[in-house]
A and B are shown apart, each in its own frame.
Chain A
Amino acid sequence: MKCYTPVIYKGLSPCKPNAIKSAVLQSEQVQYVIKQLAKEMGESPDIIQEEAMEILDEMGHRMQLGAVRFFAFTLSKIFKQLFQRVCVNEEGMQRLQHAIQEHPVVLLPSHRSYVDFLMLSYLLYTYDLALPVIAAGIDFLGMKIVGELLRRAGAFFMRRSFGGNRLYWAVFAEYVKTMLRSGYAPIEFFLEGTRSRTAKTLTPKFGLLSIVMEPFFKREVFDTYLVPISISYERILEESLYAYELLGVPKPKESTSGLLKARRILSDNFGTIHIYVGQPVSLRTLASGRISRCPYNLVPRHLPQKPSEDIQEFVSDVAYKMELLQIENMVLSPWVLVAAVLLQNLPAMEFELLIEKTLWLKGLTQTFGGFIEWPDNLCAKKAVLSGLTLHSNIAGLVDGHVVLNDKGVEDGAVGEIVFRHALAVLMCATYRNQLLNVFVRPALVAVALQMAPSFRKEEVYSCFNFLRDVFSDEFIFFPGISLKDFEEGCFLLTKCDAIQTSQQEIYPTDKGSGTVSFLSAMFRPFVEGYQVLIRLNTYIPVVNNAYKPRRLKSQLIFRYLSKEMKEAFTEKQFIPAVRNFVFQLLEKGSTQCYEALSSDMQKNALSALVQLGAVKKKKTPNGFTYNVNQEAVGKILDMFDARIPVQKPVAARL
């Protein structure tokens, strides 16, 4: 048996999971809320205390070395079955080891698969580091034995939404903070909140992050380390599951029997996992000069306090920064390049050309700072072939041509050509998407170059800025630095000789027009998809009632509808309506944008419209409802066609 003697935080006073729970229950913070609620509800504090206890029992972990060993043993077997290799950056592990001893540590891994946290704990165990406690969704508890096992391996469970429940919030926040303050164990959670079904990094959630930052704001700890961790999979375990989900085939509930069925997967090969443990980032350094200390000095620290605006902004900035670091360190496999090339050359692409293009894209990716796992001596052909072998469920070689494998996908219950093709496209897109995180800045400049009516800098920037706003939920942009992003994009394009800039103008070079069009083609699914989706927004109410596809293209009808339809709709109505709509368009062949079927893109487009003020989001007792502002939607569509004049004040800064 392995002798596990982990490196721990220097200020740690060892204690049992139950001691933490009772410390939380007795804490001033929780007691305050209990008394407050008792007073408001006219209830006895004992009853509320009881309730708090139940909440704690539901959420609390019961980390046991025995369970950890059991997991380590089984996981090592399973992982060996599933994956060829697991690669870790050793110096990252060493840095982490130092960090863990110095200050409380928060691990922030990317989230692509359930394997993420199992793998990470396994890794820390193997490296003799303190095992993290992990914030997991409460749905895991639905899995009978596994839920409890995870609990013993250090998972604690949070409800998906508890905005209104003050007791729950107080208990949960205090539970996390108690573990952090005492240096009990590294705290691990996913900034993205959920597994990204598309392999694009999801926009961050701020709740847990602001909880773990609070002890520092209140100076209960000297500092806190935030450690971005990038976990990438050559082949994602849940790839087909995700594709189904995106297409609206409901996600199976977490259940133990579901997990047992997944045994079938064990016989499959999922390639290599790359784990990059980033440089621990000192919260103190990040906060230096940014946080006014007054608000925390004037109120007792145990009182619940709504974070001030500058704190909220700071938390959001940190969240984005951490995600950008995850992206920066994410290892990309050659297959990611293949997928990106292939998607631009459907239905079939000559094998040799694919290799050539892949090799070219490799160079471009490296110029853009992408981190590709491509051994020096590996020839392109071998790399592409091994990708095709690993992903034979997605694409294959037929008569010297590479084609999407959209014929015999899975059980084929839906039985439609469009559906099957969409499935293959979405799976393939999942891999291309990994590249988008790195490419988004230069590529949006390229798209802007094609959109803008002229090569004048301010017009290109204006388009870029617009795209950045529209795609703010689709890709990760650090808030408020549009100009910097633009400049970075231009710089990278200049670096690969794709564009030239003069005082007033930005234009593609002769040599670089290929790059520019490749880049804009790479993002075309999004540009087109959004256009389709946004346009649909103006029809939603009709879709619900009596949609007549034949009239779609008619501007007259468009105008008519935009005047007549003022009805509100919910997201639950929106998604299936839009899906049906796009489906019909695809069947008719009036669009080729299969990715518009993705519920992820649909949600993001809706949320972009909300942020741009074209759709009003309202909270009602039954959740959120949406109201379309036809005129504003029209303006956004005009923007896509670059028919809106540039705003001068913005241009002045260029």
Chain B
Amino acid sequence: GARLWQELLKWNGWGYNDSKFIFNKKGQAEFTGKRYRLGGMVLPTFKEWIEKTFGASLEHKTTSRASLNVNDVPPPIVNEEFLQDLRATKISYSQDAEDRVFRAHGHCLHEIFVLREGMFKRIPDIVVWPVCHEDVVKIVELACKHNLCIIPFGGGTSVSSALECPEEEKRMIISLDTSQMNRILWIDEKNLTACVEAGIVGQDLEKQLAESGFCTGHEPDSMEFSSLGGWVATRASGMKKNIYGNIEDLVIHIKMVTPRGIVEKNCQVPRMSTGPDIHHFIMGSEGTLGVVTEVTIKIRPVPEYQKYGSVVFPNFERGVACLREVAKQRCAPASIRLVDNAQFQFGHALKPQVASIFTSFLDGLKKFYITKFKGFDPNILCVATLLFEGDREKVLQHEKQVYDIATKFGGLAAGEDNGQRGYMLTFVIAYLRDLGLDYYVIGESFETSVPWDRVLDLCRNVKERIVRECKEKGVQFAPLSTCRVTQTYDAGACVYFYFAFNYRGISDPIHVYEQIERAAREEILANGGSLSHHHGVGKLRKRWMKESISDVGLGMLRSVKEYVDPNNIFGNKNLL
């Protein structure tokens, strides 16, 4: 099974092999494959948008190498005694170069860039595929016995350099791929919980639960590829957290194998007062303490009714004010997101060709109503997308409540279709970076959480900072620097930034890119934002940990690591 999944996915980019943006023979953009709603559709205005936004041209193309050059791959460090012991366990493993490279990275820009044009200095020396908790126990014991390094690998969607192997690691590095631990062990309908092996990927978990009429409702944007264990290890957050909660709200019980042994609680209860919650040492530990093998997670009956929606606001300020009010009244729908104008225009550029004249006429009418009749400036307005879930009557009631609030902030309902497209784009947008890379455009997203009163200042300042840094670093075309508010909380919001630029004329684009991203993070921190809302720290954001949680705080985490893993078997060097 392991190989099959790997073969479905790109080795040097995001997602499925068969799904990607291309320019067809007519020079029009198109999304291939049948997996997404956008699949097979032509996007007539997209090319123009790319050219206008990035100053990119279809004539200037860079291409990735077609396949992995096995000769470039660093030779594995092999501990023969360990191999002998491993063989005895019958756990499947591989020392194949492609398998190792596949697990040597996440999806940070620099990692993809290396795949396309270079080679990692250090990659795992062996990949192992445990199929159950006991296998993991055996592997960890062997690693301790032979003093080797284990890096747990789930879905491989990390965007914090968490999967990169420390260059200076001299021990054999074992990539512990959890993907074969993907069963639902049991479902408890009385307590609405399910015990699931940690390697299961989000979409499979939801599919399998749905067969019994349940769901977890945990839908991070990466849910097609990311794993339950990964969510726990990074403190993940899902799009529909307003109903279902973030991972820390969903988890009832965790089993983790550490060099010290197994850590778990003695019961599966909604809450307990037994000192600091040991789950909180595990959640966000980013693979530095052990391997999460089994998780008991809350489940809910699949909702009867889902409805998308969207609201246009005259400007971003009004939109944020509306979201704040919605949060204040605690009536946020399953998901509510506000995109700024640049992202609204971007979404617009991804509109597929409409089939009938009638629809295009309707679109025109809508546009006329909003811009001419209501006086919204198309270069300033912004859009909120909504997703309601529950039983039909309640959804409709809820919908009315939210739209009523929106009206108070000058919002206009803009239809279900716009809302649905917005959420569909969430999954497709990750594919865009690969297209950009072909045309000298590099980009990335990053996120933060921030108190309500600072949302506007933070968004404005970070975007401005990016634009300025690009200019200073010699980027010739103004970058795309855009943001959206993706989650609302009582005390603040989660903000997501997209940032991309055309790097023609720059000799070391990745370095420039990293400098700018770093400046943007500094700006976020200076504006009272957090180091990360849900991406985690990894190795990418380690430098700011001390500032983020204080010396003592860092010492507390270090002492836990010291106790649990004194020989640094889990040596991915994340976080601390």
Q: Are A297 and B453 in contact (CB under 8 A)?
A: no
**CB under 8 Å from chain B, chain A span 205-261:** 219-220, 222
Contact of A220 among B457, B465, B525, B547 (CB under 8 A): B457
21 A-B pairs with CB atoms under 8 Å apart are A219-B454, A219-B457, A219-B458, A219-B461, A219-B526, A219-B527, A219-B528, A220-B457, A222-B460, A222-B461, A222-B464, A222-B465, A293-B525, A293-B526, A293-B528, A294-B547, A296-B528, A297-B528, A300-B453, A301-B453, A301-B454
**CB under 8 Å from chain A, chain B span 523-576:** 525-528, 547
**In the bound complex, CA of A425 to CA of B528 (Å):** 57
**CB under 8 Å from chain B, chain A span 486-501:** none
**CB under 8 Å from chain A, chain B span 98-137:** none
**In the bound complex, CA of A296 to CA of B458 (Å):** 13
Residue of A nearest to B456 (CB): A220
Q: Which residues of A contact B465 (CB under 8 A)?
A: 222
Residue of A nearest to B458 (CB): A219
**In the bound complex, CA of A220 to CA of B547 (Å):** 22
- Which residues of B pack against A, CB within 8 Å? 453-454, 457-458, 460-461, 464-465, 525-528, 547
Contact digits for A261-305, partner B, Cβ 8 Å, 1 yes 0 no:
000000000000000000000000000000001101100110000
Q: Which of B453, B458, B525, B526 has the most chain A CB atoms inside 10 A of its CB?
A: B526
* 3 smallest beta-carbon distances between A and B, as pairs: A297-B528, A293-B526, A219-B527
Residue of A nearest to B526 (CB): A293
Contact digits for A118-133, partner B, Cβ 8 Å, 1 yes 0 no:
0000000000000000
**In the bound complex, CA of A222 to CA of B460 (Å):** 8
Residue of B nearest to A292 (CB): B547
Residue of A nearest to B550 (CB): A294
**In the bound complex, CA of A294 to CA of B529 (Å):** 11
- 18 additional contacts (CB under 8 A) given A219-B454, A222-B464, A296-B528: A219-B457, A219-B458, A219-B461, A219-B526, A219-B527, A219-B528, A220-B457, A222-B460, A222-B461, A222-B465, A293-B525, A293-B526, A293-B528, A294-B547, A297-B528, A300-B453, A301-B453, A301-B454
B547 to chain A, nearest CB (A): 8
Residue of A nearest to B547 (CB): A294
Q: Which residues of B contact A293 (CB under 8 A)?
A: 525-526, 528
B455 to chain A, nearest CB (A): 12
A543 to chain B, nearest CB (A): 55
Q: Which residues of A contact B453 (CB under 8 A)?
A: 300-301
**In the bound complex, CA of A594 to CA of B527 (Å):** 56
B281 to chain A, nearest CB (A): 25
Q: Which residues of B contact A220 (CB under 8 A)?
A: 457
**In the bound complex, CA of A293 to CA of B465 (Å):** 16
A612 to chain B, nearest CB (A): 39
Q: Which residues of B contact A296 (CB under 8 A)?
A: 528
**In the bound complex, CA of A187 to CA of B465 (Å):** 24
Q: Which residues of B contact A219 (CB under 8 A)?
A: 454, 457-458, 461, 526-528
Q: Which residues of A contact B461 (CB under 8 A)?
A: 219, 222
A300 to chain B, nearest CB (A): 7
**In the bound complex, CA of A222 to CA of B526 (Å):** 11
Contact digits for A387-399, partner B, Cβ 8 Å, 1 yes 0 no:
0000000000000
Q: Which residues of B contact A301 (CB under 8 A)?
A: 453-454
Residue of B nearest to A217 (CB): B526
**In the bound complex, CA of A491 to CA of B464 (Å):** 42
**In the bound complex, CA of A294 to CA of B454 (Å):** 14
Residue of B nearest to A103 (CB): B464
**In the bound complex, CA of A220 to CA of B460 (Å):** 10
Q: Which residues of A contact B458 (CB under 8 A)?
A: 219
**In the bound complex, CA of A293 to CA of B453 (Å):** 17
**In the bound complex, CA of A220 to CA of B528 (Å):** 11
**In the bound complex, CA of A219 to CA of B456 (Å):** 10
**In the bound complex, CA of A139 to CA of B458 (Å):** 41
B164 to chain A, nearest CB (A): 28
B249 to chain A, nearest CB (A): 26
**CB under 8 Å from chain B, chain A span 291-339:** 293-294, 296-297, 300-301
A182 to chain B, nearest CB (A): 13
Residue of B nearest to A301 (CB): B453
**In the bound complex, CA of A300 to CA of B491 (Å):** 12
**In the bound complex, CA of A293 to CA of B521 (Å):** 13
Q: Which residues of A contact B460 (CB under 8 A)?
A: 222
A301 to chain B, nearest CB (A): 7
B527 to chain A, nearest CB (A): 5
**In the bound complex, CA of A28 to CA of B58 (Å):** 52
Q: Which residues of A contact B527 (CB under 8 A)?
A: 219
**In the bound complex, CA of A294 to CA of B458 (Å):** 15
B166 to chain A, nearest CB (A): 29
B471 to chain A, nearest CB (A): 12
**In the bound complex, CA of A300 to CA of B452 (Å):** 11
Residue of B nearest to A302 (CB): B453
Residue of A nearest to B525 (CB): A293
A222 to chain B, nearest CB (A): 5
**In the bound complex, CA of A222 to CA of B528 (Å):** 14
**In the bound complex, CA of A252 to CA of B547 (Å):** 56
**In the bound complex, CA of A134 to CA of B112 (Å):** 55
**In the bound complex, CA of A268 to CA of B389 (Å):** 83
Contact digits for A337-374, partner B, Cβ 8 Å, 1 yes 0 no:
00000000000000000000000000000000000000
**In the bound complex, CA of A294 to CA of B548 (Å):** 9
A288 to chain B, nearest CB (A): 9
**In the bound complex, CA of A297 to CA of B524 (Å):** 11
A370 to chain B, nearest CB (A): 34
Q: Which of A220, A222, A294 has the most chain B CB atoms inside 10 A of its CB?
A: A222
A622 to chain B, nearest CB (A): 44
Q: Which residues of B contact A300 (CB under 8 A)?
A: 453
Residue of B nearest to A287 (CB): B526
Q: Which residues of A contact B457 (CB under 8 A)?
A: 219-220
Residue of A nearest to B450 (CB): A297
B376 to chain A, nearest CB (A): 17
A27 to chain B, nearest CB (A): 13
**In the bound complex, CA of A300 to CA of B528 (Å):** 10
Q: Which residues of B contact A294 (CB under 8 A)?
A: 547
Q: Which of B453, B457, B464, B525 has the most chain A CB atoms inside 10 A of its CB?
A: B457
Residue of A nearest to B529 (CB): A297
Residue of A nearest to B522 (CB): A293
**In the bound complex, CA of A530 to CA of B453 (Å):** 54
**In the bound complex, CA of A297 to CA of B526 (Å):** 8
Residue of B nearest to A220 (CB): B457
**In the bound complex, CA of A300 to CA of B451 (Å):** 10
**In the bound complex, CA of A300 to CA of B492 (Å):** 13
**In the bound complex, CA of A293 to CA of B547 (Å):** 10
Residue of B nearest to A296 (CB): B528
**In the bound complex, CA of A14 to CA of B37 (Å):** 45
**In the bound complex, CA of A220 to CA of B456 (Å):** 9
A414 to chain B, nearest CB (A): 60
Residue of B nearest to A291 (CB): B526
B270 to chain A, nearest CB (A): 32
**In the bound complex, CA of A296 to CA of B457 (Å):** 14
**In the bound complex, CA of A100 to CA of B299 (Å):** 57
**In the bound complex, CA of A159 to CA of B68 (Å):** 74
Q: Which residues of A contact B528 (CB under 8 A)?
A: 219, 293, 296-297
Q: Which residues of B contact A297 (CB under 8 A)?
A: 528
**In the bound complex, CA of A222 to CA of B527 (Å):** 10
A23 to chain B, nearest CB (A): 15
**In the bound complex, CA of A131 to CA of B526 (Å):** 32
**In the bound complex, CA of A515 to CA of B461 (Å):** 53
Q: Which residues of A contact B525 (CB under 8 A)?
A: 293
Residue of B nearest to A28 (CB): B453
B169 to chain A, nearest CB (A): 33
**In the bound complex, CA of A296 to CA of B527 (Å):** 9
**In the bound complex, CA of A599 to CA of B405 (Å):** 66
**In the bound complex, CA of A460 to CA of B547 (Å):** 45
Residue of B nearest to A293 (CB): B526
**In the bound complex, CA of A300 to CA of B525 (Å):** 15
**In the bound complex, CA of A171 to CA of B466 (Å):** 35
B525 to chain A, nearest CB (A): 6
**In the bound complex, CA of A62 to CA of B464 (Å):** 33
